[in-house]
Structure 1
Amino acid sequence: MEWTGARYADRPTVEVRTWIDAPPATVWALVSDIELMPDMSEELRSVTWLDGAARPAVGARFVGRSEHEAFGTWETTSQVIEYVPESVLAWAVQDPAEPSAVWRFRLRPEDGGTELAQWMQLGPGRSGLSAAIDRMPEKEQKIVFVRLREFERSITATLAQIKRRAEA
């Protein structure tokens, strides 16, 4: 696990990697089926494609509905910003020009299997975390740190689910 940044304006990131004993095509089938993600995520409750899309492609949009005990429930629209089959799937949350977050899966063949990394970046656009920082600016670094740790745990759990399914 890696994470960088302590302030929201720094666009803090977190990345978790795992090795999966399955070929990239098998792992890709799971990663690129975003409608499976709610089954493997602690916060994400549902995903619905928009504009007639049925699978990822650059420019395709989807709505994600999430829930968190401290933040309640919310809905965001994301847009796929990078798509390379069996290699990279990335999407920007809210405005792609000023996203509230960017998420990325990266696959790489390694040792007869696949290294899978999931990475996310907060900001630069405003998010639900921005309201908490506005209310308690003196606690910004702690707020960001706590949220990054939550993302680290959630991503680790998601990757474990993908690994389990790919290796089954």
Structure 2
Amino acid sequence: MGLLRPLGGEVSVRMAASPETVWDLVSDVTRIGEFSPETFEARWTRGSTGPELGATFAGHVKRNGVGPTYWVPCTVTRCEPQQVFEFSVGTSSMTVNNWGYRLRPDGDGTVVTEYFRLEPSLPIRAYWLLLGRLRGRTNERGMRTTLERMRTVVEA
């Protein structure tokens, strides 16, 4: 039954900044290199210039911060200003996973949740069964690092 559950994880961090300020940061994919331990740059592609539903970008990734680098195509799948910014990773014919940020106002700040969700294909489920625990911990550490670095910027 464990193979039928959603595959993913999330990390939340409270930031002493408005949802508008946090939104401007999490939805600007060109700044991800400042924060992520794995994605060291990204750029809008195919005519996209900013966050909107259907916009495309490419992320330049170095898995676990080591090894070869590679570019991954991404498409914005949810774009609700000051609330949710989500994108799929993969091609139009095959999505591998989804990443996103949920923002929730909290007094004079914002609780930011970064999350990932793998697509439930058979190969992905097999991967998650074999390596999910390790990869999940790595992703959670990376998300925490990303959010802590973002918090430093928005609270400065």
Match of 1:74 in 2: 70
Deviations 1:126-159 (A, max 9, x none): 88xx5x94xxxxxx53411100100000000000
- Partner amino acid, structure 2, of 1:92: S
Distance verdict in 2 for CA 1:64–1:6, change over 3 Å: farther
Match of 2:109 in 1: 113
Helix, strand or coil at the partner of 2:52: coil
Deviations 1:17-71 (A, max 9, x none): 0111111111111111111111101110221111111101001001111012566
Match of 1:99 in 2: 95
- Partner amino acid, structure 2, of 1:163: R
Distance verdict in 2 for CA 1:125–1:142, change over 3 Å: closer
Unaligned runs of 5+ in 2: none
Cα shift at 1:99: 1.6
- Match for 2:39 among 25, 37, 44? 44
Match of 1:153 in 2: 141
Cα shift at 1:160: 0.2
CA distance in structure 1 between the aligned counterparts of 2:43 and 2:122, rounded to whole angstroms: 23
- Partner amino acid, structure 2, of 1:101: N
Percent of aligned pairs with the same residue?
28
CA distance in structure 2 between the aligned counterparts of 1:98 and 1:10, rounded to whole angstroms: 20
1:21 aligns with 2:9: no
- Partner amino acid, structure 2, of 1:14: G
Unaligned runs of 5+ in 1: 134-139
How many aligned residue pairs are there?
154
What is the alpha-carbon root mean square deviation over aligned residues?
2.4
111-120 vs 93-102, greater mean Cα deviation = 93-102
Distance verdict in 2 for CA 1:10–1:72, change over 3 Å: farther
1:162 aligns with 2:147: no
Report the TM-score when normalising by structure 1. 0.82
Is the 8 Å Cα contact of residues 7 and 120 (structure 2) preserved in structure 1? Answer: no
